[in-house]
Structure 1
Amino acid sequence: MRLTPFAHALALALCCVGARAQTVVTIGYAGALTGAQAHFGKDSERGIRLAMDEINASHPVIAGKPVKFELDAQDDGADPRQATTVAQRFADNRVSAVIGHQNSGTSIAVARIYAQQHIAELTPSATNPEFTRLGFDTTFRMLANDDFLGEALSRFVSGSLQAKRVAIIDDRTAYGQGIAEVFAKQVQASGATIVAREYSSDKAFDFAVVLTRVKRADPQVIFFGGMDAQGAPMLKQMRQYAIKAPLVGGDGLCTAEMSKLAGAALDGNLYCADGGRSLSKMPGGPAFAAKFRKVYGEPVQLYAPYAYDAMMAIYRAAALAGSTEAPNIAAALHRVTFQGVTGQVSFDAHGDLRAPAATISTYHGEKKMALTEVLK
C-alpha cells in the first residue's frame, strides 16, 4: 500500500523521534533525608544531582544510544532496618547502580542485597573498614576508611598535642564504635594511656553521667566516635563541666553544621579528621564549592564532593563497559581511573581508594581551618 505524502512525512518524523529517544538510566541514592543526620543526606544528594545535571547536559551516548540519567533518592533514616527496605526496592527495580548508603551501619547491612543482584554500591561517606571487606566485588568507597583516619588522628594526638592521657567515648554505631576502636589501638601503640572508656548512643543529647566519669580520669584529650548531632552538645557540656581537654573525632564531627550546633564552644576546642583533602585543597574543590553555593544557596557540609565523584565514576564505568546494565557497570568500576573533584579516583581490589587522604582540622571562631594533610 502506498502512503500519502502526509503519511510518509509522519512516518519519517516518528522514525527520527524514535532514533533520538533516550534510554533512561536510574541511579539509586540512599541516605538520611530526615532526622538529625538529614544535613549529611541532603548534602550528598545535592552533589549527585550536580554531577547528573552536568552529565545529562553533555547529551551522553553509551553504546551508540542516547541516555539520560535519573536519580531515585530514598530516605533510609540512618537505620539499618529501613535501609534494608530501601535496598530491596532498588534491587527489585533493577537500578543501574546505587550511591550510598550514608552510614557504615546501613552500608554494611545492605551490601549482600546489592551483591546478589550485581549492583554496585558506592558510599560517599561510610568509613568502617568492614564495608569493603565483606567479600563482595560490588562495594566501593569514595573516601578514606577508619584505619587511615584513626592512624592520622592518633599520630596527631600523640605528636602535635603531645597527649599521654586519653579518654574515649563512642556512640555504639558501626561508624562510631569502629573508628573509636581503631583510634584506641593506634593511640596506645603511640605510647598514650586510655584513662577512661565510655559509651553513649546516636540518640543521646545529655552526657552528664559520661562526662562526670571522664572528668574524674583527668584526660588531656577526649576522643568521640560519633556524629555532629551528638558531638556538639557534648562539647558544650564539656565546657559547662569545666573540662579543659579538647574533643577529637573523625569526619562525623568535621562539618559545617558543627559550627552551627556548637557555637562558641567550638573555638579551639575541637580537632577532627576528614577522610580526604580539605575542600580548598581538592583539585576541583574551590570551583565545586562555588557552584554548589550558587545552585543551592548553602555551603557544602562535607560529603557532596565525594557523592559528585561517585556519580561521575558510575558514568565513566558505563561508558567504559559500553553498557548501562548493573553487572557491567559494577565490573567496569574496578577499571575506572580519573581525576575527580576530590582527587584521583581509582579502586583497589576491595573497592577502597588506591590513594586516600586525610585532613586534620580545627575551628577558629566558627570557621573550619585545615592544620595538616596526610597522604598515603
Structure 2
Amino acid sequence: MQFTKLTTVTIAVAAALALSACGKKDDAAAPAGASAPAAAAAGGDTVKIGFAAPLTGPQAHYGEEYKNGVTLAIEDANAEKPTIGGKPVTFELDAQDDQADPKTATQLAQKLVDDKVAGIIGHFNSGCAIPASKIYSDAGIPMIAMATSPVFTAQGFKNTFRSMTSDTQQGSVMGKFVVDTLKAKKIVIVDDRTAYGQGLADEFEKAVKAAGGDVAKREFTNDKATDFAAILTSIKSVNPDVIFYGGADAQSAPMAKQMKRLGLKAPLISGEMTKTPNFLQLAGKEAEGSIASLAGLPLEQMPKGKEYADKYKARFKTDVATYSPYGYDATRALIQAMKDANSTDPKAYLPVLAKIKYSGVTSSNWTYDDKGDLKDGGITVYKVEGGQWKVMQTIGGGAAAPAAASAAQ
C-alpha cells in the first residue's frame, strides 16, 4: 500500500512537472495573433508589459480608463504581428492594482520586477510613481508614468518618463490664466496634501505670485475627505474671486456642491483629475462654472483623436474620458523603442526610448528632454457650461490659438 501511494505520487509529480515545462514553453512562444501551440512552433516570445494604477476604490475610474488605453495599444501592436530580435513576439499586459496607495505601490513594483516585465506603464498617481520608480530604477526597467509631480523626473533616474506634462507646466499656466485672463484679485488655494495635489497647488501659487496676484488664504484637507464645511466657512470670510483646488474629483465635486450651498460665488478651479465625467456626475448642477486644466490638446484637436475615439468606443462601448489616449501613446512609444532597438531587453532599449520620436494620438511629436519630461506639451483650460466641459483656451502643444474666445465671457 505504501509502495502504491509512493508510486502514484511520483507519477503525479512527474506529470505536473512535464505540464509545467510545456506551459512555460508555450507561454514564452506565443507570437502576435497565434495560439500558444502554434506560437511554440514558430519560436516566438511573450513580452510582458507591466501596468500599475488604482483599479479599486474612489480613484478606480481613473485607473480603469487608463488601463483601457494600454490594453488597446497592446492589442493594436499584436495585430501588426511584430518581430523583434529575429523572432515574432506577442505583448502581454501584467496589470496590478496599487489602490493609489504608496505602500501598496512599492510592493507591486517589486512584484512586477519579479514578474520580469520588460517595461512599466504607470503608476498613475505621483505619490505612487515616485517611491516605485526607485525599485524600477534599481532593476533597470523603463517606466512611463501618468504622474505629473515635478519630483518624479527630478530624481536623477534614467528610467523615468512621463505621458503628460508636469505640474510645473500646468500650474504655471493656470496661475497666469487666473490672474491675467480671469482678472482674479483674491485667490484661495486648497490642496489634499498628496504629492499630486500639493505639488500642483504649489506650482499654481508660484505662478499667481509671479503674475502679480494675491493668495489671500491657503488651506489643506486630505484625499479621503468629503465634508468641507469648516474650510469653506473660513474661506467665505475672505470673499475670494476664485478657489483653486489641488486634488481629485472625489473631493472637488462635493467641494463644488458645498461652495454653492454656502453662497460662495467664486468658481472652483482645479487640475486634470477634476476634468472628468465623474466630476460632472458627482457635482450635478453645482458643477456649472467650474474650471479645470488638462495637459495636452482637446481630444477633437489631437492628431489622431477622432480615429482613437471611434476605436475606443467600438472596443469598450463607452466614450474616452481623460487618460486613455495618454496610456495608449505611452505603450506604443515603449513598444516602438523596443522595435527600434531590435531588443526587448530593458538595458538595450532604454537609451532608444530616451531619444524616441513617436507620432501618436495625443501628439505628432512625442519626444523627451534629458529628464524624461515631454518636450511638446500643451495645456487646455475647460469650463463647465450646460453640464458639459467646454474648451476655454488651449496654450502650447501646437494648438490653434482661438479656442480662447469664451475665456473673457
> TM-score, length-normalised on structure 1?
0.94
Number of the residue aligned with 1:141: 162
Aligned residues of 2:172 and 2:206 also touching (Cα < 8 A) = no
What is the rounded CA distance, in whole Å, between the counterparts of 1:16 and 1:271 in structure 2? 53
What is the rounded CA distance, in whole Å, between the counterparts of 1:169 and 1:375 in structure 2? 27
Matching residue within 198, 206, 211 for 1:190? 211
Give the AA of the match of 1:251. Answer: E
What is the rounded CA distance, in whole Å, between the counterparts of 1:25 and 1:291 in structure 2? 24
Number of the residue aligned with 1:107: 129
Number of the residue aligned with 1:371: 392
Number of the residue aligned with 2:61: 39
Deviation (angstroms), 1:163: 0.2
Number of the residue aligned with 1:152: 173
Deviation (angstroms), 1:331: 2.1
Matching residue within 265, 270, 273 for 2:286? 265
Number of the residue aligned with 2:403: none
Number of the residue aligned with 1:306: 326
Number of the residue aligned with 2:186: 165
Give the AA of the match of 1:88. Answer: Q
Number of the residue aligned with 2:150: 129
Matching residue within 224, 229, 237 for 1:216? 237
Aligned residues of 1:266 and 1:365 also touching (Cα < 8 A) = no
Deviation (angstroms), 1:22: 2.2
Aligned residues of 2:119 and 2:141 also touching (Cα < 8 A) = yes
What is the rounded CA distance, in whole Å, between the counterparts of 2:39 and 2:111 in structure 1? 32
1:337-348 matches, within 5 Å, as: 337-343=357-363, 344-348=365-369
Unaligned runs of 5+ in 2: 1-36, 398-409
Give the AA of the match of 1:372. Answer: Q
Deviation (angstroms), 1:204: 0.3
Number of the residue aligned with 1:318: 338
1:206-285 matches, within 5 Å, as: 206-268=227-289, 270-285=290-305
Equivalent pairs, count:
360
Number of the residue aligned with 1:68: 90
Give the AA of the match of 1:176. Answer: G
Aligned residues of 1:96 and 1:324 also touching (Cα < 8 A) = yes
More displaced stretch, 240-249 vs 321-330: 321-330
Secondary structure (helix, strand or coil) at the match of 1:36 reads coil
Deviation (angstroms), 1:18: 4.7
Secondary structure (helix, strand or coil) at the match of 1:286 reads helix
Deviations 1:123-142 (A, max 9, x none): 1x211011001000000001
Give the AA of the match of 2:85. Answer: A
Against the structure 1 CA distance between its residues 160 and 104, is the aligned structure 2 distance closer, same or farther, given a 3 Å change threshold?
Answer: same
Matching residue within 120, 128, 137 for 1:98? 120
Deviations 1:290-313 (A, max 9, x none): 211121111222110000001101
Highest relative contact order (Cα 8 Å, sep 6+), 1 or 2? Answer: 1
Deviation (angstroms), 1:75: 0.2
Post-superposition, which runs of at least 4 consecutive aligned residues in structure 1 deviate over 3 A? Answer: 15-19
Question: Are 2:107 and 1:88 aligned?
Answer: no
Matching residue within 42, 58, 72 for 2:80? 58
What is the rounded CA distance, in whole Å, between the counterparts of 1:74 and 1:257 in structure 2? 22
What is the rounded CA distance, in whole Å, between the counterparts of 1:304 and 1:75 in structure 2? 16
More displaced stretch, 277-286 vs 16-25: 16-25
Matching residue within 28, 47, 71 for 1:25? 47
Aligned residues of 2:379 and 2:395 also touching (Cα < 8 A) = yes
Number of the residue aligned with 1:11: none
What is the rounded CA distance, in whole Å, between the counterparts of 2:38 and 2:141 in structure 1? 33
More displaced stretch, 171-180 vs 254-263: 254-263
Secondary structure (helix, strand or coil) at the match of 2:245 reads strand
Deviation (angstroms), 1:17: 6.4
Number of the residue aligned with 2:355: 335
Deviation (angstroms), 1:33: 0.0
Secondary structure (helix, strand or coil) at the match of 1:113 reads helix
> TM-score, length-normalised on structure 2?
0.86
Against the structure 1 CA distance between its residues 237 and 333, is the aligned structure 2 distance closer, same or farther, given a 3 Å change threshold?
Answer: same
What is the rounded CA distance, in whole Å, between the counterparts of 2:379 and 2:236 in structure 1? 30
Deviations 1:159-206 (A, max 9, x none): 221001000000000000001011011101111111111000000000
Deviations 1:130-161 (A, max 9, x none): 10010000000011101110111012101221
Number of the residue aligned with 1:48: 70
Deviations 1:207-226 (A, max 9, x none): 00110111111110000000
Give the AA of the match of 1:105. Answer: G
Cα RMSD between the aligned structures?
Answer: 1.3
Against the structure 1 CA distance between its residues 223 and 18, is the aligned structure 2 distance closer, same or farther, given a 3 Å change threshold?
Answer: closer
Secondary structure (helix, strand or coil) at the match of 2:366 reads strand
Secondary structure (helix, strand or coil) at the match of 1:198 reads strand
Aligned residues of 1:167 and 1:196 also touching (Cα < 8 A) = yes
